[in-house]
A and B are shown apart, each in its own frame.
Chain A
Amino acid sequence: MKLTTIYSHLRNDLSTIENDLEKTIEAQHSILQDASIQLLKAGGKRIRPVFVLLSAQFGKYDVDRVKRAAVALELIHMASLVHDDVIDDASLRRGKSTIKAQWDNRVAMYTGDYIFARSLEYITHLNKLEAHKVLSEAIMEMCLGEIEQIREQYDLDQNIRDYFRRIKRKTALLISVSCELGALAGDAELHVQRQLKQFGYNVGMAFQITDDILDFTSTEKQLGKPAGGDLQQGNITLPVFFAMRNPDFKARLESVFDNQPIPQNVMEELIRDIKAMGAIENSKGISDRYLKKAFKALRQLPDNRAKRSLKQIAEYIGRRNY
């Protein structure tokens, strides 16, 4: 089943979200407007708004209220992508030209800052003080996480706990906050909010681990960039941690990192070794453990259609192959 099929019953509300996304990023300057629209049209799964909408259905669902969190979270995510492309010096995202490539870094910085400010303005109309505390802390943590990621690049002596903390900040936090804010915006009961937050966190961890696996198992066509891109940038992800249990692999990686960039043929060998050492299966095992915890959190929630959709989304994340 496709992801969009799972939440097809949200079609109308997602279209409200899409309209608001478009309205919110309207800008007077044509390049600012074009850059923002390009970003919006590049698509994406809109997974964060979906989590917000579904979580809000555990309370008093009012799309006009809930959309404040859904739209803002997607915009925050979009703004961070624009700046990430400057950080990674990336010309392509999802196979399409990035803002920094189409215009330049300066335009990307202005666009990211503009979209981020629009998102904050938009969400201030959600008059829930607790929501702002949660979101502002999460954004701060996300920034710190990205700084840590750069600090830990090419560091082969880092601990696997560093990796989990990094992906928590990088991905799981915003998904967890999407669920929590949805529940908050819908005035769901406190214990429901907590379980949804837990669900989001665990799904987010599984999502990122799966992403890190796919970076080694997918084709360039599927990824929209060459396989092994994370390793090329010095990012040590879970499959690499498992592969590094073999001292020879670790020593080899050490010498490869001394001569960057990693040539294509060497990268292919490394990927082959990672796969041969069972690192992919081990990583999948960890991802499954997070998914199990996500399902456990879901079991504490009242039965409804939203719960079934959340479960299907989590299952989808567990088996997606690109």
Chain B
Amino acid sequence: MNNNDIGRKISELLLQINQKLQHPYLMRFIDEPVIDEDKLLLTYIMLKDKELSEIELEYYAVSTMLVQVALDTHEKITSHDLSGEYDKKNRQLTVLAGDYYSSLYYYLLSEIKDLSMIRTLAQAIQEINENKMQYYKNENQSIENSMENIHRIESSLLLKTAEHFHLPLWKGIADEFTFMKRMLMERRSIQNNTYTPLVAKIMNQFNRSKGGWLSLKNQILEVVDSYILHSKIRLEKLWAEEPVMHLMLEKRIEQYIEQSGFRVKKYAEEG
């Protein structure tokens, strides 16, 4: 299967998932659900390594992505008071949309009678929510612990799927790829002076009285860059063991690097 074939298949799967997510009334009020195409690509490529029928592969990829969309949908729920009727309805229906998408994964896997995969994805959801809670509620945790939470939040779903299908190499790739992408996104936000929860967590560990925002921003970027570099090195090692299938993923990550302004050389020189 070449890159074009994979690209075509991913488009087909995106269409399938999108059809399942569509609900006319929900769509009038909630934000359009976003399917993480990188996670879909990762899931598809890694499952391609197993001798699964095309139908089975589709079921697993679609179910896994439905869980991801469900979790991402619930992530949009905020806690502040709302006054406008539209905003209230948006929140109510966002909760229900997430629940509905989550029910679809159970329904699909029940259709193909795969109880062990239902269990695997359920365990991943638990792990993700445990880590989300730690990340959200432990304000003074160390940077290292925060980064570990991000690792688990981003990768548990794919990691557990890789484990389920006995794909140890893909476990590592999924872990590093999803983490590195998130870090590159965070970097981009910091560059644009967006105050993300990660920024707050890193700042908590610094002495804030010294220097202005610019100096602080550089310090924060330094921390984030060190994690990006670490992930990049790990990923390159893992990709060397998987010389063919990773090329599309490598291309994707290069795009994110470009957009984030991360420079290995510059970092190495300064560091």
Count of chain A residues with a beta carbon within 8 Å of a chain B beta carbon:
42
* A32–B125 touching, CB < 8 Å: no
Tell me, yes or no, whether A136 is within 8 Å of chain B by CB. Answer: yes
* Bound CA–CA A29/B127 (angstroms): 11
In the complex, which residues of chain A have a beta carbon less than 8 angstroms from the beta carbon of B99? 80, 83, 116, 143, 146
User: Would you call B171 an interface residue if the criterion is a C-beta within 8 Å of the partner chain's C-beta atoms?
Assistant: no
Which residues in window 114-168 of A have CB below 8 A to B?
Answer: 114, 116-118, 120-121, 124, 127, 129, 132-133, 135-137, 139-140, 142-144, 146-147, 150-151
Q: Does B96 contact A (CB under 8 A)?
A: yes
Residues of the B chain whose Cβ atoms lie less than 8 Å from the Cβ of A136: 103, 106-107, 110
A3 on interface, CB distance cutoff 8 Å: no
B92 & A87 in contact (Cβ 8 Å cutoff): yes
**Is A27 interfacial (CB 8 A cutoff)?**
yes
B115 close to chain A: CB less than 8 A: yes
A109-B77, A114-B126 are known contacts. Are A139 and B103 too (CB-CB below 8 A)? yes
| Residues of B contacting A: mostly | helix
In the complex, B122 has a CB within 8 A of chain A: yes
Rounded to whole Å, the gap between the CB of A261 and the closest CB of chain B is 12
Interface assignment of B196: CB less than 8 Å from any CB of chain A: no
B189: Cβ under 8 A from any A Cβ: no
Knowing A87-B92, A143-B96, A151-B25, the reply to whether A32 touches B118 (Cβ < 8 A) is no
Given contact pairs A132-B118, A143-B100, A114 touches B130 in the complex (Cβ within 8 A): yes
Take A110-B132, A118-B126, A136-B107 as given contacts and tell me if A147 and B71 are in contact as well, using a CB distance cutoff of 8 Å.
no
Cα A31 to Cα B130 in complex, Å, equals: 10
B129 close to A110 (CB less than 8 A) = yes
Give bound CA distance, A121 to B117, whole Å.
10
The closest CB in chain A to the CB of B82 belongs to A89
Interface of A is mostly: helix
Assess the A113–B129 pair: CB atoms within 8 A. yes
Which of chain B's residues have a CB closer than 8 A to the CB of A114?
A: 125-126, 129-130
Residue of B nearest to A126 (CB): B115
A258 to chain B, nearest CB (A): 12
CB distance from B174 to the nearest CB of A (A): 19
Quick check: is B102 within 8 A (CB to CB) of the other chain? Answer: yes
Provide 9 A-B residue pairs closer than 8 Å at the C-beta atoms, listed in order of the A residue: A27-B130, A86-B95, A107-B133, A124-B118, A124-B119, A136-B110, A140-B106, A146-B96, A147-B97
A residues at B contact (CB < 8 Å):
27-29, 31-32, 80, 83, 86-87, 89, 100, 104-107, 109-111, 113-114, 116-118, 120-121, 124, 127, 129, 132-133, 135-137, 139-140, 142-144, 146-147, 150-151
Name B residues whose Cβ lies closer than 8 Å to a Cβ of A.
23, 25-26, 70-71, 74, 77-79, 88-89, 91-93, 95-100, 102-104, 106-107, 110-111, 113, 115-116, 118-119, 122-123, 125-126, 129-130, 132-134, 136-137
Given A83-B99, A117-B129, A143-B96, 20 more contacts at CB 8 Å? Answer: A29-B137, A32-B133, A86-B91, A104-B79, A105-B77, A107-B137, A109-B95, A116-B102, A117-B125, A121-B123, A127-B115, A129-B115, A136-B103, A140-B104, A143-B100, A146-B96, A147-B23, A147-B97, A150-B89, A151-B25
